[in-house]
Copies of this chain bind each other. A is one copy, B any other.
Amino acid sequence: MAAIRTRIAARGLGPGDRLPSIRALAAGMAVSPSTVVEAYDRLVAEGVIRARRGSGFHVATAEPAPFRLAAAEAARDRAVDPFWVSRQSLDTEAAASKPGCGWLPADWMPVDALRRALRGLARGSDALLTDYGGTHGSPALRRLLAGRFAEEGLAVGPDQILLTGSGTQAIDLVCRFLLRPGDTVLVDDPGYFNFRALLEAHRVDVVGLPYGPAGPDPAAFEAIVAAARPRLYITNSALHNPTGATIAPATAHRLLNLAAAHGVTIVEDDIFADFEPDPSPRYAALDGLERVVRIGSFSKTLSASVRCGYVAARGDWIEGLVDLQVATAFGGPSPVATDLVAAVLAGGGYRKHLDEVRRRLSGARRATAQRLGRLGLVPVLMPRGGFYLWCRLPDGLDSAAIARLALAEGHVLAPGNVFSVSNSAAAFLRFNVTQCADPQLDDALARAMREAARSGGGA
């Protein structure tokens, strides 16, 4: 037994390899065949080797475990797991309410324009309805996007824009292009939780940058960048998720210079841009896509069911990104999807729809802040746009405990630590002001907070 074990350990025998025949091993080791039979039988019992009918004994195949995302697999508290919030939000159909989710309800979306676009598409060309489409995605939609960027002061040609299956897939492509396993990436702390899950899938180290009501701290950025040498910094510069903060022009300028000095590329996820009352400073507009990659999608303002995202980047990077998208998704995004998005964007009603959404959001932020205030939940800041309120709990309460208790009553919340690389946001909850319509929510929250307080904060 020891002889076989040693040969397996030294990789002289690999998984699936045939062991010496009983006769040969007995002769070689000067023992009786029955000794070898007994040793083999015991090794079979231990699972080290296997008997195969008609072909003797073989080393058992110890298959490597699949790559399960640690965040998803952790046996620890699922309520502070980024996946918990994603999957509860996406899969909990029967929830009473989902104040923790990251999108608008259907009745806030431009449904009539989508129906019109679908009817128009039903009259589209045969090729549009059946072909793969070009690798960069719909030229019409890329021209529309370039026009919108120009209004913000970002001059890019349609050939610097690549359409993708979603905003997340756009970031995933950029990570494939710019990262290697073992690299370090900087994210905001607190920051969007799915960035952490995405980065884990790329096998890179994630470092958090303290992010306050005024945005990131340039001094902290400089210190962390010098020490950790990240390759990328992934952030939302406008209407930051979860805080709703907007960076100051001076901060954007300084971070950009520091990024240039230290060779950091900034991935600016601009998914909430259309909710701004007027454009705030953008890394991409300041930098002109030299060291900034701009990401976006239409899931928040147009449709998350018609999936489409984009990357705007240096022209010489776009070709590498196209190659990676062909390799990993074949072709560009769905032409059906990009045609629908282009039809809605080009229709006159989309800007009016956005104006209306911004007006409604402004009222909903105020009203929800008042409601939450009565429960002792205080927004850290009043965002200038968007649908998030990042609220501090009364002292000593743990948001994960409250989220667990609220879920038992059918309310999906977003507890602070899912947003925090350093796990320093247990005292916060992120609320989506468009998903708080359920009148039962206030009572459910109050009960959960009382219950958490009773059990010592729940921490």
The residues in A between 112 and 141 inclusive whose CB is less than 8 angstroms from any CB of B are 114-116, 118-119, 121-123, 125-136
Within 8 Å CB of A441, what residues of B?
A: none
Copies of chain A in the complex: 2
The stretch that binds B, out of A2-10, A14-22, A386-394, is A14-22
Q: Is A172 an interface residue (CB 8 A)?
A: yes
Q: Which of B122, B131, B203, B340 contacts A106 (CB 8 A)?
A: B131
Residue contact A172 to B328, C-beta cutoff 8 Å: yes
Q: Which of B58, B68, B176, B226 contacts A67 (CB 8 A)?
A: B176
The digit string for A221-253, where 1 denotes a CB below 8 A from any CB of B, is 000011001010000000000000000000000
The stretch that binds B, out of A272-280, A302-310, A355-363, A404-412, is A302-310
Residue contact B129 to A103, C-beta cutoff 8 Å: no
Nearest to A172 among chain B residues (CB) is B328
Residue contact B129 to A114, C-beta cutoff 8 Å: yes
Give the distance to chain B from A368, nearest Cβ to Cβ, in Å.
21
The residues in A between 295 and 337 inclusive whose CB is less than 8 angstroms from any CB of B are 299, 303-307, 317, 320, 322-324, 326-337
Nearest to A297 among chain B residues (CB) is B330
A329/B130 contact (C-beta < 8 A), A69-B324, A176-B201, A317-B66 known: no
Q: Is A26 an interface residue (CB 8 A)?
A: no
Q: Is A432 an interface residue (CB 8 A)?
A: no
Within 8 Å CB of A317, what residues of B?
A: 66
Residue contact A201 to B328, C-beta cutoff 8 Å: yes
Give the distance to chain B from A293, nearest Cβ to Cβ, in Å.
11
Q: Is A283 an interface residue (CB 8 A)?
A: no
Q: Is A72 an interface residue (CB 8 A)?
A: yes
Q: Which of B66, B114, B304 contacts A132 (CB 8 A)?
A: B304
Nearest to A82 among chain B residues (CB) is B327
Within 8 Å CB of A324, what residues of B?
A: 67, 69, 201
Residue contact A109 to B121, C-beta cutoff 8 Å: no
Nearest to A334 among chain B residues (CB) is B307
The digit string for A57-75, where 1 denotes a CB below 8 A from any CB of B, is 0100111101111001100
Q: Is A220 an interface residue (CB 8 A)?
A: no
The stretch that binds B, out of A83-91, A155-163, A442-450, is A83-91
Give the distance to chain B from A165, nearest Cβ to Cβ, in Å.
5
Residue contact A132 to B15, C-beta cutoff 8 Å: no
Q: Is A395 an interface residue (CB 8 A)?
A: no
Residue contact A115 to B129, C-beta cutoff 8 Å: yes
Within 8 Å CB of A371, what residues of B?
A: none
The stretch that binds B, out of A192-200, A373-381, A418-426, is A192-200
A72→B318 CA distance, assembly (Å): 13
Q: Which of B15, B198, B203, B231 contacts A263 (CB 8 A)?
A: B15
- 7 residue pairs of the A-B complex, CB under 8 angstroms, read A67-B176, A86-B330, A106-B131, A109-B129, A111-B130, A131-B304, A201-B327
Given A66-B178, A90-B134, A305-B336, 4 more pairs with CB closer than 8 A: A15-B262, A62-B263, A118-B129, A132-B305
